Structure 1
Amino acid sequence: MNLFAFDIETVPDVTGGRRLYGLEGLDDDQAAEAMLALRRQASGGSDFLRLHLHRVAVISVAARIGERFTVFSLGDDGDDEGELLQRFFDGLERYVPRLVSWNGSGFDLPVLHYRAMIHGVSAPKYWDTGDGDREFRFNNYLNRFHDRHTDLMDVLAGYQSRANAPLDEIASLCGLPGKLGMSGDQVRARIAAGDFAAVRDYCETDVLNTYLLWLRFEQMRGHLDREGHAAECERVRNALAEAGRPHLDAFLQAWQG
């Protein structure tokens, strides 16, 4: 089975904020600040926006397609969000991969659901529960306890939210690089500053950590033996070295160190 470890980066949906909160007349930065202030007021302190008000800026994927491993991102500065989402779901239609995420059930997928509905995105394979493909009746992307989508954080926590752990910390404890160069709370500022490439690079390091933790999980549950795990890691190392991209070189150096 093909496999996509995926992650998204988002910014406030200022167009939606203007529509819902009457923020007409404010520029994008002012509208975003107003949305965050309203959220702090409603939540008692947290400015983490409700999921339907996150606009998807980047989707990154660490993909095992057949015998090939690659890392790529969808989304660039100025890209239409609806087209970005459609390209992601078109990839699911084409490759029908297993999806792997870290907190994908709690954040990434609900965001993608809401935003795809807003933009009229078509994703029949993703939403199939057996009507179009009988195999999906017993293993689909939507059932929490199926593995066509595996939220590693959710599974490792035993589906208990109080046991959830941050990707960066688990990756670091497992000897992986963890986060390099920036953190999620810097995404909006980096995009506003015109440094969209840094956000893509950051998201790609997250999916690399997720993919490598997936390999650990596969070894832990007996789907890979020690030699098989080493071979899969070597496949990733070779792909990163061949890519010749600075942030992947940095990830490789940190991993080997």
Structure 2
Amino acid sequence: MSDIGWLIFDVEAVADGDLISKLKYPDQELSGDAAIARYRQELMEEKGSDFIAHTFMLPISVAIAKVTQDFHLDDIVVLDDPDYRPASITNLFWQGWRHYKRPTFVTFNGRGYDLPLMELSAYRFGLSLPDWFQVSGRSFDQARNRYNTSSHLDLMDMMSNFGASRLQGGLNVLANIIGKPGKTGIDGSQVQDMYDNGGVREINDYCMCDVLDTYFVFLRTRVLTGQLTLDEEHERVVETKNYLEKRAADCKAFEHYLSHWGDWQPPEKESTENKESV
């Protein structure tokens, strides 16, 4: 248990229709579903996107890869399976972080969406998190400090130098560069409609695939930082593929991921004869 050093996670969420109805349309007595539909339409007309801010959202899927301190995949889970209740998901998320002795969260763009959503959900459901909200600690030691990567490593922050550059294509690009599936027909913009059509299991499968992409990108960043060699990274990739293959018959997410699997191809070695180094 204590060997878990990293929790790589992804969150998918659906709109809180009752809250939207109450705050956006207070005098119209709209049902939750009607309020969501109207708000999405208004957002699309105004902004060209029906993306709803996390303040109006409820977590319906949290997938987590438990990774050892030396970067081996231990397990992948989705929380509150098969019920996927927002309050239970939130409670299990923060309980798990404590259970494993507060390992480092790893996300892709989690600082801008996933973690704020889970923090707000803790607020909504009345959880106490003094070990995360370290308001009396020195600012640079606080878990929520943007540059405290020992508490939360956001791979988008890392690869964009904390926003100094724009990482166009995001996780999908980084995954494809190293041969992994990336987006394979589903993205976050489809989650609300999938949920409305009873596809909560499919949402959780999609979430697990995103976590797998994030794990493999995380491994390659450990090569960048010198914590793994390419050979050590390859060993962990092979181990993880074996893990997925053993469980694919009972897990559609793993079966789907393997069907789009690719291996990173190292560049051909070029002759250095008569060439000077920089």
Q: TM-score range by the shorter chain?
A: 0.7 to 0.9
- More displaced stretch, 163-172 vs 210-219: 163-172
User: Between Structure 1 and Structure 2, how many residues are aligned?
Assistant: 252
Which structure shows the bigger proportion of residues in helix conformation?
A: 1
Q: Deviations over 1:107-131 (max 9, x none)?
A: 1111222222122122233224685
- Between the aligned partners of 2:141 and 2:219, the Cα distance in structure 1 is 20
**Distance in 1 of aligned mates of 2:252 and 2:52:** 32
Work out whether 1:191 is the aligned partner of 2:199.
Answer: no
Which stretch shows the higher mean deviation, 75-84 or 230-239? 75-84
Give identity over the alignment, percent.
26
- The Cα of 1:24 is off from its aligned counterpart by 5.8
Residue in 1 aligned with 2:92? Answer: 87
TM-score (norm 1): 0.87
Unpaired segments ≥5 residues, structure 2: 264-278
* Cα deviations by residue, 1:21-52 (Å, 9 ceiling, x for unpaired): 227643332111122244456x5444322220
Moved more, 136-145 or 217-226: 136-145
- Residues 63 and 69 in structure 1, CA contact (< 8 A), matched pair in contact too: yes
CA distance in structure 1 between the partners assigned to 2:134 and 2:207 by the alignment: 28
The question of 1:201 aligning with 2:205 is answered yes
Distance 2:174 2:58 in 1: 27
- The one of 141, 144, 154 equivalent to 2:143 is 141
Letter in 2 for 1:90: Q
Cα distance in structure 2, aligned partners of 1:139 and 1:214: 23
SS in 1 for 2:216: helix
Tell me if the contact between 2:160 and 2:167 (Cα under 8 Å) persists in the aligned partners. Answer: yes
Aligned counterpart in structure 2 of residue 54 of structure 1, from 54, 57, 60: 57
Q: Which residue of 2 aligns with 1:15?
A: 18
For 1:137 and 1:227, locate their aligned partners in 2 and report how far apart those are by CA, in whole Å: 38
Q: Following TM superposition, by how much is the alpha carbon of 1:181 offset from its aligned partner in structure 2, in angstroms?
A: 4.0
TM-score if structure 2 supplies the norm length? 0.81
Q: Which amino acid aligns with 1:63?
A: K
